[in-house]
Structure 1
Amino acid sequence: MVRIKTCLSSILAAGILIASSQAWAQTVKVGMSAALTGPAQALGNGVKNGIESYFKYVNDNGGVNGNKLELIALDDGYEPAKAAPNMDKLISDGVIAVLGNVGTPTAIVTVPIANASKTLLFGAYTGAGVLRKDPPDRYVINYRASYAEETGAMVKNLLASGIKPEEIAFFTQNDGYGDAGFNGAVAALKAAGFSNVDFLAHGRYTRNTTNVEQALSTILDAQVEPKAIIMVGAYAPCAEFIREARKDFADVKFLNVSFVGSAPLLKALGNDAEGVIVTQVVPDVTSELPGVVEYRKNLQVYNSDLQPDFVSLEGYLVAKIFVEGLKAAPSMTREGVIDGLESLKNLDIGIGVPITYSSTQHQASHMVWPTVIKNGKYEPLDWSQMK
């Protein structure tokens, strides 16, 4: 009888423990608003694929302190008018944070919503200054280098290669994204002693179109024929511009920032891709760095129909850092995850760049990796060998 009572007590205690553990475990909902359809869909889906690959890996290995991760991704088509209501819906649905949003024009409307609702906007796929205030907004934390750092690196190394400031032209999207990259390049030119920036040819096009004719005409009319064109746009219009510009400029260098979308740009260019330069904010996807090897492995496991690319790698790394912030969070709340991220110091995610945040430092990486298309694929570029 005593043994029966003991067994019953053990079963009851185990049941209470299981029930308690089930009550404690929860699904941590994370939001995302990005272009999942339309001309920029390769970017939104790429970031989403990277995030989901890491979240699935974490969930299959016990979650975060027993909690499973769920990504709720809404389509904004790269349009601010859709991004704002998406943010409102995600926040009202109780997401702990919004992760990997894509684009500058959309960020211009989503950053104020994040701040007003006290909801973290983390790892957005944009290098615009609107997400990089000094001191930083508490509710906006970044992974990647800024567009100013990307175009600044371009200017610095173009000048070092012997190209004169007046031989640089610009092709940019006519909005905050294009402005961010252009202004960064202008700042670099001024720092190098060139102040006559109004002299430089600057062609612009309208977002979500491939209407590049007027922009090309502006550059063709430049007082000095350009030897380099810095491009701040999306892959479809940039590809169209490069194809058309090659008919008039035989030896000009085309330099794109990371947001262009490297894989879709390469595909769209086809035979016109050779020699096109793209700066990246993540390492080369073929790298043997441990974080990149892990990414390729998990992409194969959880998205086996996809090929590795720079966009999904960035999404993967953003998710990885975010999870480390969750692990360090004093509470599984919106404020707690910010405190957890700000506590990260010299975190090694396997890309050779230690990740550190604080209340005054909300950008993890300032690293820019230049690449160039050769024989139909991207290769690391040594700036000093650029001719």
Structure 2
Amino acid sequence: MFFSASVCAADGSDDREPLRFGMSTALTGPIADLGIEMHRGVLAAFAEANASGGVRGRKLELIVLDDGYEPSEAGPNVRRLIEVDQVLAIVGDVGTPTAIVAAPIARRSGVPFIGALTGAGVLRKTPPDRYVINFRASYAEETSAMVDALVAAGIPPNEIAFITQRDAYGDAGFSGGSEALKRHGVAQEGKIAHGRYERNTMAVEGALADLILHQPAPQAVILVGAYAPCAKLIRLAKECDFPTLFLSVSFVAPNSLAAALGDQADGVVVSQIVPDVHGAAPINRQHRAALAQLKQHEAAPTPISLEGYIVGRMLLLALKRIPGEIDREAIVVACEGLGSFDLGLGVPLRLSSDEHQASHAIWASRIEGGEVKPMEWSDVRATRGKQ
């Protein structure tokens, strides 16, 4: 399935060759909202830069190909972007199973793989992979934050359960969560209640049944999945009178989950790797202004579009620090040379030769009245009574 859009992020003619970047993402299928929003955010950052003359007078161009969240499509897409379109870097790809295929192709070609929307540990090696540059915190950090908050709220560790997608994404989230539970005294992974469902399906009934039958009954369920099947699962749980607190990692896209659940969304907790989009952080004002320049993209800002915008801004900061020719190797060197930097998130960011994940910050949010609202992790105790 090929869907391509070659987008120069600003109008106007320029005889100079543009700086061309590529993205393989889900523009169709069950997580299309994430791919569309990530694309919108990166595009907004590029358009903002192009309106100010680009980078040393060269405009930025973004070529996006649809992979439908399928690894079998992501591989050919990335090869095409690298070999045919000759992009300088792959930017903002969405998803763990697709990244597991795409990142090695980029690495073998010496092409930077920057800011993928995945927190999987496979992209966070020690020492780091030279060509993989991450912005977001890991899934292990997200699930660890949730487990710690739940235990602090008085939920016994052996009554915290997981429902995960049956692939590398789900495995990454469960691995981080199970390690956190071990810190809290759950000695064996096999003692953790764990249901799974197949990627790109809505077949969540079996996973829910596994948890309903588990003893002791889970008081909290951490979801590591896509928004549509997670929404179905939460609805089914309520129909089955299965009282539990639901939490999800950021990949679920909280706005999409809230829309899918409607009036049944209240009380669902979602971890975030960006600050509240309506908050006072300077990056939010800049994000909104950049989105406004995309006249064909008039939707409200979302956490995913903000993540894409931050990834685009991070790349631009590196590009502007390249003293000579802008090529693939120069981009890697520039990213590693950023050191500590500030993009207005209110938290420190850092990239270096031994640190290829810029942020380790985790925020908490809760869906209330159809809206995604910020909360403190200590408020999980109060949230337990709202579902």
TM-score, normalised to structure 2's length? 0.92
Q: Identity over the aligned pairs, expressed in percent?
A: 50
Any conservation in 2 of the 1:261–1:311 contact (CA below 8 Å)?
A: yes
**Cα deviation, residue 23, structure 1:** 9.6
Partner of 2:353: 359
**1:181 aligned partner, one-letter code:** G
Q: What 5-or-longer segments of structure 1 have no aligned partner?
A: 1-21
**Cα deviation, residue 63, structure 1:** 0.3
Q: Distance in 2 between matches of 1:290 and 1:33?
A: 29
Task: Judge which range, 244-253 or 204-213, deviates more.
Answer: 244-253
Q: What 5-or-longer segments of structure 2 have no aligned partner?
A: 1-12, 382-387
State the Cα deviation string for residues 84-104 of structure 1 (Å, max 9, x = none): 000100001210000000000
Q: Distance in 2 between matches of 1:23 and 1:239?
A: 47
Q: Distance in 2 between matches of 1:366 and 1:355?
A: 8
Q: Distance in 1 between matches of 2:305 and 2:352?
A: 26
State the Cα deviation string for residues 11-55 of structure 1 (Å, max 9, x = none): xxxxxxxxxxx9994200000000011111100010000011111
- Give yes or no for the alignment of 1:145 onto 2:145: no
State the Cα deviation string for residues 263-291 of structure 1 (Å, max 9, x = none): 11110000110000000100001011111
Partner of 1:376: 370
Q: Distance in 2 between matches of 1:23 and 1:369?
A: 42
Partner of 1:232: 224
**Cα deviation, residue 193, structure 1:** 2.4
Q: Distance in 2 between matches of 1:36 and 1:97?
A: 19
Partner of 1:82: 73
- The structure with the greater share of residues assigned to helix is 1
After the TM superposition, which parts of structure 1 deviate over 6 Å for at least 4 consecutive aligned residues?
Answer: none
Q: Distance in 2 between matches of 1:143 and 1:355?
A: 9
Q: Distance in 2 between matches of 1:233 and 1:23?
A: 43
Secondary structure in 2 aligned to 1:288? coil
State the Cα deviation string for residues 288-335 of structure 1 (Å, max 9, x = none): 111111101221231452111001000000000000111112430000
Secondary structure in 2 aligned to 1:346? strand
Secondary structure in 2 aligned to 1:156? helix
Partner of 1:329: 322
Partner of 2:307: 314
Choose from 105, 124, 127 the match for 2:97. 105
Residues 206-355 of structure 1: pairs in structure 2 closer than 5 A: 206-249=198-241, 251-303=243-295, 304-330=297-323, 331-355=325-349
**2:23 aligned partner, one-letter code:** M
Structure with the greater alpha carbon radius of gyration: 1
State the Cα deviation string for residues 189-216 of structure 1 (Å, max 9, x = none): 1122221331222111110111111111
Choose from 6, 26, 34 the match for 1:35. 26
Would you say how many aligned residue pairs link Structure 1 and Structure 2?
Answer: 366
RMSD value over aligned CA atoms? Answer: 1.4
**1:309 aligned partner, one-letter code:** T
Secondary structure in 2 aligned to 1:278? strand
Any conservation in 1 of the 2:269–2:367 contact (CA below 8 Å)?
A: yes
Residues 88-99 of structure 1: pairs in structure 2 closer than 5 A: 88-92=79-83, 93-99=85-91
**Cα deviation, residue 247, structure 1:** 2.3
**Cα deviation, residue 166, structure 1:** 1.3
Task: Judge which range, 335-344 or 293-302, deviates more.
Answer: 293-302
Secondary structure in 2 aligned to 1:56? helix
Partner of 1:55: 46
- Give yes or no for the alignment of 1:385 onto 2:376: no
TM-score, normalised to structure 1's length? 0.92
Partner of 1:4: none
Secondary structure in 2 aligned to 1:298? helix
Secondary structure in 1 aligned to 2:229? helix
